[in-house]
Chains A and B, each alone.
Chain A
Amino acid sequence: MQDPLSLQSRANILAALRHNQPESSALPPLLYFPQAPAAELKEQFIRIATGIGSVVLTADTFEGAVELLQNTIKPGQKVLSTVPELSSDEFIYPGKDQDPHRYADLDIAIFKPLVAVAENSALWITDEQLITRALPFITQHIYMLVDISVLVADMHEASRITGLESQKYGFGTYIAGPSKTADIEQSLVLGAHGPRSMTIFLYGSGA
């Protein structure tokens, strides 16, 4: 804020706004909708995730999900896990390097989202878990280990939880499906700049 031009602009903008902005208008009440039963949320989450190009596999337990996950990895694929339970040699390519450029040839990155949203299948992850912020974007494929207990109905509930004091982050993102574009004649292509696929391993009692 040392730049005098910027300071001058700041003063002018704020003064002009105070002069021109309308009379105070009250904020509406925060929205909250009753959360549907877990089974319904799960059905909705899977339907929407599949609809936007994700693959969803279900297991009763975390161990079961890990088994499913291991079965989908092909020999020779470079895999990096950010999940503490998955830290054996096969999950730490190329080591836990902070320089994001090192991950340019990564095949699979694995994450454990903190919140999953049924209405749009968005999964919330933050840099508290990420080794480096570019990881979920630079990897060719993304794997998500989702505990069914983090599933909520909608973005109102998700915003509430991700905004709690206990949720510290410098960077956080909702990810819904593989990266995609329809910029060429509205033909949907998966794998625009980020991951070409997303596989969700949904686990927990009732999953």
Chain B
Amino acid sequence: MAIEAGKQTHSELAGGFNADEQRVDWHDETLWWIRQKRDKAAHGIPEWELLRETASQIKNNVLSGLAAYLENFEARALENGIKVHWAADAAAHNQIVYRILKEKEVTQLVKSKSMLTEECHLNTFLEEKGISVIDSDLGERIVQLAKEPPSHIVLPCIHKKKEEIGELFHEHLGTAAGESDPQVLTEAARQHLREVFLTSKAALTGVNFAIAETGEFVVCTNEGNADLGAHLADVHIASMGIEKIIPERAHLGVFLRLLTRSATGQPITTYSSHFKKPAPGQEIHLILVDNGRTEHMGREDFRASLKCIRCGACMNTCPVYRRSGGHSYHYTISGPIGAILAPNLDRKKYADLPFASTLCGSCSNVCPVKIDIHQQLYKWRQVIVQEGHADLAKKLSMKGMSLLLSSPSAYRIAGKSGRWLLRHAPFAMNNKFNPWYKQREMPAPPEQSFSEWYKKMKK
């Protein structure tokens, strides 16, 4: 694929992940287990499909009226005493955060999960300015200590073994060498982060839903880290992509029913916190971020991906994600949804991602807001090839295939010689130049093709 120099493609990175077969199996099984929990939770709700359809229609309505909803949301939020900022891109977002922190002379920011700040690379930006950022979600803290990006939007360190986490904690948090019991490690993180919560003057959270009708926003966590950070700090900064709007408070029930059941199979997150007004003596700053979303809105075939509520169900079910790991997508959001969001930002850099799919459609089937994910993957492939971002091998093989498939006689000859080659000179096919043979055993070639067999049978 046409990827920037020095950057590896999804298939190259997946190749690295696939080197350890046992690990791949473990990763695959863990995510499939979460998918099964999702199924169990969904099947327990008789009206599940009606919920999905309703959520989808609400989000369609949001997209069609987003400008007015944002204006309304802003007006209500301002009335409620929330300070509202608008950011055109990642750089503007980061500057706004920095300005708020600088004004308050804050040197330590405690942050709960926010894929948007990952998208904006906020941590590196602030650290260069001398502000330390501490991720407080356990999984995010683990990948932060490991100096890695999250590999999953809901389960940031799903790729890590407990022994590796034990080593990190031994090095950074002083747990005993060789300790890998999740209970013990979680307790160590709890103690370490309590200290952070109690000493941070500023906290940053993401936003799951922002309600246009009331100007409040909702943050969902299981750990309680967003609330501990926000309520113990003098300044609470909430960063949200502009697409997080829902029209009315009454719609929230639909989304809170779908979100966690789709994500992990839980009936709801432990905490669904509604921030409407700042507490006495506190400030809430809300940053509305575009960063490519308005442009994305203009692409008719692709705008539905803005409906995403970031549950991660499409990743857990994806046969490619499960066996290639989140880091192979080399984008903040991995898996099928990442593969359709990334090309909006940079079609050249992420030209490989829409091809990292079998187009089986499982992602679209589990999506709680009914995004046509697999169809968008297929459409992106066409855009990417047309714009010339596909790599030479793919272009040549596609041209070759189209010649072959348009000529029955060429097709017959190719089939015959292919079968002959596989029988008599398998090394000509099964070699390192043919990616179909990577980590795969191929079935033995048949003696004859179907049409040869059919002709014989007719006689």
Query: Which of A12-47 touch B at CB < 8 Å?
Result: 12-14, 16-28, 30-31, 33
Residue A88 at the B interface, CB < 8 A?
no
In the complex, residue of chain A having the shortest beta-carbon distance to the beta carbon of B280: A98
Flag if A184 contacts B224 (CB, 8 Å): no
Residue A122 at the B interface, CB < 8 A?
yes
Flag if B51 contacts A31 (CB, 8 Å): yes
Flag if A27 contacts B58 (CB, 8 Å): yes
Per-residue contact bits, chain B 26-60, to A (CB 8 Å; 1 contact, 0 not)? 00001001100000000001010011011001101
Flag if A132 contacts B273 (CB, 8 Å): no
Query: Which of B243-280 touch A at CB < 8 Å?
Result: 247, 249-254, 256-257, 264, 266-280
Residue A178 at the B interface, CB < 8 A?
yes
Per-residue contact bits, chain A 163-207, to B (CB 8 Å; 1 contact, 0 not)? 100000111111111111111111101011111000000000000
**Residue from B50, B53, B224, B251 within 8 A of A193 (CB atoms):** B224
Flag if A20 contacts B270 (CB, 8 Å): no
Beyond A31-B50, A127-B279, whether A184 also contacts B162 by CB under 8 A is yes
Residue A160 at the B interface, CB < 8 A?
yes
In the complex, residue of chain B having the shortest beta-carbon distance to the beta carbon of A117: B268
Q: For residue B75, give the distance in angstroms from its CB to the closest CB of chain A.
A: 11
Flag if B250 contacts A184 (CB, 8 Å): no
Question: What separation, in Å, do the CA atoms of A1 and B136 have in the docked complex?
Answer: 30
Flag if A48 contacts B267 (CB, 8 Å): yes
In the complex, residue of chain A having the shortest beta-carbon distance to the beta carbon of B242: A13
Flag if B294 contacts A13 (CB, 8 Å): yes
Chain A neighbourhood of B448, CB < 8 A: none
In the complex, residue of chain A having the shortest beta-carbon distance to the beta carbon of B44: A119
Beyond A175-B271, A194-B228, whether A155 also contacts B257 by CB under 8 A is yes
Chain B neighbourhood of A1, CB < 8 A: 78, 84
Flag if A193 contacts B136 (CB, 8 Å): yes
Chain B neighbourhood of A5, CB < 8 A: 92, 95
Flag if A20 contacts B297 (CB, 8 Å): yes
Flag if B222 contacts A33 (CB, 8 Å): no
Question: What separation, in Å, do the CA atoms of A157 and B68 have in the docked complex?
Answer: 27
Question: What separation, in Å, do the CA atoms of A9 and B197 have in the docked complex?
Answer: 32
Residue B332 at the A interface, CB < 8 A?
no
Q: For residue B43, give the distance in angstroms from its CB to the closest CB of chain A.
A: 14
Chain A neighbourhood of B64, CB < 8 A: 21-25
Flag if B53 contacts A28 (CB, 8 Å): yes
**Residue from B47, B84, B250, B274 within 8 A of A30 (CB atoms):** B250
Q: For residue B261, give the distance in angstroms from its CB to the closest CB of chain A.
A: 9
Flag if A194 contacts B223 (CB, 8 Å): yes
Chain B neighbourhood of A96, CB < 8 A: none
In the complex, residue of chain A having the shortest beta-carbon distance to the beta carbon of B193: A193
Residue B155 at the A interface, CB < 8 A?
yes
Flag if B270 contacts A179 (CB, 8 Å): yes
Chain A neighbourhood of B360, CB < 8 A: none
Q: For residue B418, give the distance in angstroms from its CB to the closest CB of chain A.
A: 44
Residue A120 at the B interface, CB < 8 A?
yes
Residue A159 at the B interface, CB < 8 A?
yes
Q: For residue A127, give the distance in angstroms from its CB to the closest CB of chain B.
A: 7
In the complex, residue of chain B having the shortest beta-carbon distance to the beta carbon of A122: B268
In the complex, residue of chain B having the shortest beta-carbon distance to the beta carbon of A163: B249
Flag if B222 contacts A158 (CB, 8 Å): no
Question: What separation, in Å, do the CA atoms of A184 and B446 have in the docked complex?
Answer: 47
Flag if A17 contacts B294 (CB, 8 Å): yes
Flag if B278 contacts A17 (CB, 8 Å): no
Flag if B138 contacts A27 (CB, 8 Å): no
In the complex, residue of chain A having the shortest beta-carbon distance to the beta carbon of B93: A9
Residue A100 at the B interface, CB < 8 A?
yes
**Residue from B242, B247, B266 within 8 A of A52 (CB atoms):** B266
Flag if B232 contacts A6 (CB, 8 Å): no
Question: What separation, in Å, do the CA atoms of A122 and B270 have in the docked complex?
Answer: 8
Question: What separation, in Å, do the CA atoms of A134 and B266 have in the docked complex?
Answer: 24
**Residue from B30, B58, B232, B252 within 8 A of A138 (CB atoms):** B232
Question: What separation, in Å, do the CA atoms of A206 and B350 have in the docked complex?
Answer: 59
Flag if B250 contacts A163 (CB, 8 Å): yes
Chain A neighbourhood of B162, CB < 8 A: 184-185, 187
Chain B neighbourhood of A187, CB < 8 A: 162, 182-183
Residue A58 at the B interface, CB < 8 A?
no
Residue among B66, B84, B157 with the most chain A CB within 10 A? B66
Chain A neighbourhood of B53, CB < 8 A: 28
Chain A neighbourhood of B58, CB < 8 A: 27-28
Beyond A17-B294, A138-B232, whether A24 also contacts B96 by CB under 8 A is no
Residue A154 at the B interface, CB < 8 A?
yes
Q: Which residues of A line the B interface, CB within 8 A?
A: 1, 3, 5-10, 12-14, 16-28, 30-31, 33, 48, 52, 98, 100-101, 104, 117, 119-122, 127, 132-134, 136-138, 154-160, 163, 169-187, 189, 191-195
**Interface CB pairs A-B, < 8 A, 10:** A14-B70, A19-B298, A31-B254, A101-B232, A119-B257, A120-B267, A171-B273, A184-B186, A186-B155, A192-B223
Contacts A183-B138, A186-B155 known; list 7 others, CB within 8 Å: A22-B60, A24-B65, A25-B60, A28-B58, A120-B267, A133-B227, A183-B157
Q: Top 4 nearest A-B pairs by Cβ distance?
A: A194-B224, A170-B277, A20-B298, A120-B267
